[in-house]
C-alpha cells in the first residue's frame, strides 16, 4: 500500500527524472501564467509541487493577476508528482464489517465534497468533530449519521485540504458513502499509498518518515512499534540530517575555497576546518555502521534457529515458544526433517523461529538433506538456541554437538558475524529434583523442561536480553537503520569520505564530498546546490 523500499528519494539534480519532470510540467506552467484566474490558487499549487520552492517575487508593481507562485520545495523531486489537482478519496480503515469506518478525502475539492454530502450545512469548524447527516448529493437519500472532520490545508496530513467521514462500519454504508463521493465532480478513488505520497510531495513527511509510517502500520510487536513510531517522528531523518548538515558545511567551505579562494580573502584554515569536520563525521558514521543490521532485524525479525542432536526436544521448545503446535513432536529421533519456520513475538521483539532436524550422521538421504539444511540455517542465524537433553549429556551425539556447535560459537564468532548462542538443557524434569547441576563443566546454560514449563521464565528473560542486543533497544538506543538502503548509503558516504582524504586535486576532493553528500541525501532528501551557496554567503564575505 505504501511505497516502501522504493528508493524514490533520489534528489540529485543530475538524475534524469527531475529534469524530465520539470519539462513535462511545462504545459501546466503555461496555464498558470496564461490563465492565472482559473481555479483556486491552491489548485494551481497542487498542479506540480515539484518545481515550486518557497519564494516570492518581489514585484513592486501590482501584479497583473494573482501570482501562481506557491510554496514548493525541490525535496523529493525524484518522486513522480501526484496527478495534478485531483481530489482523491478512500476508505482508510480496514475492510469488512466493523463499528466505525473512516473515509478520507484529500485535495482541493475536499471542502466541496464535504458540503455536498452534508448539505445544506456549512463546513464544520477546522479540526473539530461534528455530527452530520450524510446524504447522497444526487438523490438526497440519507446514508448515515456520521462524525465529520474538516482539515483545511496546509495543516493536514497530506498538506492539502482534507476531510474525514467517520461512518458506521457496515459494508452498505461504506459503499454508499464512497459512491456518493465518487459522484462529486473532481473526486476520484485514491490509488494505493496516494495519501502518503501526497504528504511526501508536499514536504509533510520525509522519506524516512514515510518508511516509518509504513513500518508502524505493519508493526506487529511492541519493539517494532516503538521503533517505527520513532522513525515516523523523524528521528532517523534528524540524525542523518545532522550528518548531512555537517557534510554540506564542509563541502561549502571547500567550494568557497575553489570559487572564491583566489580572488577574495577567505580566512585562513578554511580547508583545515573542512578536514576536521570530515574526520568527525567518519567517526560518527563508523560507529553507527558497526552493527548496522540491528534495525533491519528489528523490522523484519531476528533469525533464531533451534538446533541440537536428535530427540533433544527442539520441536517441543519451538512449540512452547510459539504457543502453538508448529512441529510434530514424537519420542522418535529424526521426526523433524525439514526446516520449519514460524514468526513469533518474543518479549516484544519479532523473531523468525526455525525448527531444524537433529544433527547426526549416517542416516537416510532424506534426513541427511534435513541435516544439511539445518546446518545451512545455523550459519545464517542471528541467535542459536542450542538444545541438549539434560539427562543425556554424555552421549556421543551430545558431545559431538557441544564440540562442533556450542564451543566454537562460544569461543567467538567463526565467520566474523555477531551470532549469539543460548545453550538450553531440556528435560530438566528427568533430573533428580533438587540435585546438583548436572553439568558444571558446560558453558553458561539454562535448565528447562518443555514438558512442565519449568525454567521458561528464565529462558524468556535470557532471550529478551539477547534480542535486545541483536535488534537494539528502540526505547533507549540511537535511531536504527531499519532498511538495507540506509546502511548502503551510509557505507557509500563513508567510502567517499575516504576518497576525499586521498585526493590531491581539490576539485577531485570536492567531488568525493559531493558523492558522500549525495548518499546522505538519498536518506534525508534535499541536497541542492543552493544550500551550499547559502552557507558560503553566510560564512564568508565574498564577491566584489
- The 203-242 contact track toward another protein, x by CB under 8 A, reads ----------------------------------------
22 binds another protein (CB under 8 A): yes
SS3 388: strand
Joined together, the cell numbers standing for residue 435 give 540435585
Count of residues of this chain found to bind another protein when the rule CB under 8 A is applied: 56
Place of cell 464512497: 178
Give me the least distance between CB of 245 and another protein, in Å please: 17
Q: Which three cell numbers stand for residue 362?
A: 549416517
The number of beta carbons lying within 10 Å of the beta carbon of residue 374 is 24
CA distance 222 to 347: 8
Q: State which residue, 264 or 461, has the beta carbon closest to another protein.
A: 264
255 near another protein (CB under 8 A): yes
Distance of closest approach, residue 531 Cβ to another protein, in angstroms: 10
Q: How far is the CB of 18 from another protein (least distance, A)?
A: 8
Q: Does 123 bind another protein (CB under 8 A)?
A: no
Among 4, 67, 216, 347, binds another protein (CB under 8 A): 67
DSSP code per residue over 162-195: EEEEEEEE-HHHHHHHHHHHHTSTTEEEPPTTHH
Q: Does 41 bind another protein (CB under 8 A)?
A: no
Contacts of residue 65, defined as CB under 8 A and 6 or more positions apart, other chains included, come to 36, 37
Closest to 167 (Cα-Cα) out of 91, 85, 68, 262? 91
Among 4, 7, 17, 36, binds another protein (CB under 8 A): 36
How many angstroms separate the Cα of 353 from the Cα of each of 291, 342, 344? 21, 5, 7
- The interface with another protein within residues 341-380 (CB under 8 A) comprises none
- Helical (H) or strand (E) element with 467: helix 456-471
Helices within 472-540 (DSSP H only): 484-502, 506-524, 529-539
Question: Which CB atom, from 15 or from 417, has the smaller least distance to another protein?
Answer: 15
- For the CB of residue 57, give the shortest distance to another protein in the complex, in Å: 4
- Tell whether residue 530 is a contact of another protein (CB under 8 A): yes
Residue 502 touching another protein (CB under 8 A) = no
The stretch near another protein (CB under 8 A) out of 20-28, 197-205, 315-323, 374-382 is 20-28
Is the alpha carbon torsion for 269, 270, 272, 276 positive or negative?
positive
d(CA 210, CA 203) in angstroms, rounded, equals 11
**Residue whose CB is less far from another protein, 73 or 322:** 73
Q: Does 542 bind another protein (CB under 8 A)?
A: yes
If binding is defined by CB under 8 A, does position 506 make contact with another protein?
Answer: yes
Binding site residues, another protein, CB under 8 A: 12-14, 19, 22-23, 26-27, 29-30, 33-34, 36, 51, 53, 55, 57-61, 63-65, 67-69, 74, 252, 255, 258-265, 504-508, 510-511, 514, 529-530, 532-533, 536-537, 541-544
Amino acid at each position: 500500500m505504501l511505497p516502501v523500499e522504493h528508493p524514490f528519494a533520489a534528489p540529485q539534480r543530475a538524475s534524469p527524472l527531475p529534469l524530465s519532470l520539470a519539462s513535462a510540467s511545462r504545459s501546466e506552467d503555461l496555464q498558470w501564467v496564461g490563465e492565472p484566474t482559473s481555479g483556486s490558487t491552491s489548485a494551481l499549487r497542487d498542479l506540480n509541487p515539484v518545481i515550486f520552492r518557497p519564494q516570492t517575487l518581489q514585484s513592486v508593481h501590482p501584479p497583473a493577476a494573482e501570482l501562481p507562485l506557491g510554496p514548493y520545495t525541490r525535496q523529493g523531486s525524484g518522486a513522480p508528482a501526484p496527478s495534478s489537482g485531483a481530489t482523491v478519496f478512500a476508505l482508510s480503515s480496514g475492510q469488512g464489517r466493523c463499528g466505525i469506518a473512516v473515509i478520507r478525502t484529500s485535495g482541493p475539492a475536499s471542502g466541496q465534497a464535504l458540503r455536498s454530502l452534508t448539505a445544506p450545512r456549512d463546513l464544520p469548524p477546522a479540526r473539530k468533530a461534528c455530527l452530520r447527516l450524510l446524504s447522497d448529493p444526487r438523490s438526497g437519500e440519507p446514508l448515515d449519521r456520521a462524525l465529520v472532520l474538516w482539515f483545511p490545508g496546509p495543516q493536514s496530513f497530506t498538506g492539502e485540504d482534507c476531510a474525514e467521514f467517520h461512518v458506521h462500519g457496515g459494508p452498505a454504508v461504506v459503499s454508499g458513502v464512497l459512491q456518493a463521493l465518487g459522484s462529486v465532480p473532481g473526486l476520484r478513488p485514491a490509488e494505493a499509498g496516494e495519501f502518503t505520497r501526497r504528504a511526501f510531495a508536499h514536504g509533510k513527511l520525509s522519506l524516512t518518515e514515510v518508511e516509518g509510517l509504513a513500518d508502524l502500520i505493519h508493526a506487529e510487536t511492541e519493539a517494532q512499534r516503538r521503533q517505527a513510531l520513532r522513525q515516523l517522528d523523524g528521528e532517523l531523518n534528524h540524525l542523518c540530517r545532522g550528518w548531512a548538515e555537517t557534510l554540506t558545511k564542509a563541502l561549502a567551505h571547500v567550494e568557497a575555497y575553489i570559487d572564491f579562494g583566489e580572488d577574495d580573502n577567505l580566512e585562513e584554515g578554511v580547508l583545515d576546518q573542512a578536514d576536521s569536520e570530515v574526520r568527525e563525521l567518519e567517526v560518527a558514521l563508523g560507529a553507527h555502521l558497526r552493527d548496522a543490521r540491528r534495525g533491519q532485524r528489528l523490522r523484519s525479525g531476528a533469525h533464531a534457529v533451534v538446533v541440537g542432536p536428535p530427540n533433544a526436544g527442539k520441536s517441543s521448545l519451538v512449540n512452547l515458544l510459539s504457543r502453538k503446535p508448529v512441529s510434530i513432536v514424537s519420542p522418535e529421533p529424526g521426526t523433524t526433517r525439514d526446516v520449519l519456520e514460524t514468526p513469533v513475538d518474543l518479549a516484544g521483539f519479532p523473531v523468525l523461529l526455525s525448527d531444524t532436524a537433529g544433527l547426526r550422521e549416517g542416516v537416510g538421504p532424506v534426513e541427511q538433506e534435513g541435516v544439511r539444511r539445518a546446518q545451512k540455517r545455523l550459519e545464517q542465524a542471528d541467535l542459536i538456541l542450542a538444545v541438549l537433553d539434560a539427562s543425556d549429556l554424555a552421549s556421543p551425539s551430545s558431545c559431538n554437538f557441544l564440540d562442533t556447535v556450542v564451543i566454537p560459537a562460544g569461543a567467538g564468532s567463526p565467520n566474523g558475524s555477531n551470532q549469539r548462542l543460548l545453550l538450553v538443557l531440556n528435560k530438566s524434569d528427568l533430573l533428580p529434583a533438587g540435585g546438583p547441576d548436572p553439568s558444571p563443566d558446560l558453558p553458561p546454560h539454562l535448565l528447562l523442561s518443555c514438558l512442565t514449563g519449568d525454567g521458561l521464565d528464565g529462558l524468556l528473560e535470557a532471550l529478551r536480553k539477547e534480542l535486545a542486543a541483536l535488534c537494539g533497544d528502540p526505547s533507549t538506543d540511537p535511531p536504527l537503520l531499519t532498511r538495507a538502503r540506509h546502511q548502503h548509503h551510509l557505507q557509500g558516504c563513508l567510502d567517499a569520505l575516504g576518497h576525499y582524504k586521498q585526493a590531491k586535486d581539490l576539485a577531485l576532493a570536492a567531488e568525493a564530498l559531493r558523492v558522500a553528500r549525495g548518499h546522505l541525501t538519498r536518506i534525508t532528501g534535499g541536497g541542492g546546490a543552493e544550500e551550499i551557496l547559502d552557507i558560503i554567503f553566510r560564512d564568508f564575505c565574498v564577491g566584489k
